[in-house]
């Protein structure tokens, strides 16, 4: 798995709305949060996505972009985003190409369907890699801490 100090792979993909997501362009605006999650509509993944949704305005005010990635289809992502009013891009990784590029593996070395969040700086370097399978709040707290360090301000608590 990519760890802090490693270069994150850039990618260009269509999101669940059919919009082009180019991470190199997003990074020009500010830090990038990429979170891999196991499955749409499951309790933990819904909780995690909603935590990022609830912090989305805070992130936007700091020029932080957010992308969620799972192996679900674009259609599933569209229903998931609509039901929970998710304002950020959701990307389908059915062939686990992005999971492989980021080194996101389940136990026994199988790619995909693991809960890992990366904070990537404007130069494309991983600044944080949060891998807490059961604590969705740990992902948000880790992102806030990393963004605070990047922007040289204390992380907000909630």
Q: Could you give the residue numbers annotated as active site?
A: 45
Q: In sequence order, what are the residues at sequence separation of 6 or more whose Cβ sits closer than 8 angstroms to the Cβ of residue 18?
A: 74
> Token digits for 52?
């990022």
DSSP 108: G
8 Å CB contact between 70 and 38: yes
Q: Where are the alpha helices (DSSP H) in the chain?
A: 23-29, 43-54, 56-61, 74-84, 97-102, 136-151
Distance between CA atoms of 2 and 125, rounded to whole angstroms? Answer: 10
Question: CB-hemisphere CA count at 13 Å for 89?
Answer: 21
């Amino acid at each position: 798995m990519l760890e802090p100090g490693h270069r994150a792979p850039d990618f260009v993909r269509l999101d669940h709305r059919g919009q082009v997501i180019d991470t190199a362009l997003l990074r020009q605006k500010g830090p990038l949060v990429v979170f891999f999650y196991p499955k749409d509509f499951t309790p933990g993944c819904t909780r995690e996505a909603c935590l990022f949704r609830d912090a989305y305005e805070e992130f936007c005010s700091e020029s932080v972009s957010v992308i969620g990635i799972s192996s679900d289809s674009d259609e599933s992502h569209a229903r998931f985003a609509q039901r929970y009013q998710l304002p950020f891009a959701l990307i389908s990784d059915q062939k686990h190409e992005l999971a492989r590029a980021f080194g996101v593996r389940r136990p026994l070395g199988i790619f995909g369907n693991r809960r890992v969040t990366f904070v990537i700086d404007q130069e494309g370097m991983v600044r944080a890699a949060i891998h807490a399978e059961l604590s969705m709040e740990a992902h948000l707290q880790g992102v806030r801490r990393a963004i605070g360090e990047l922007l040289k301000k204390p992380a907000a608590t909630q």
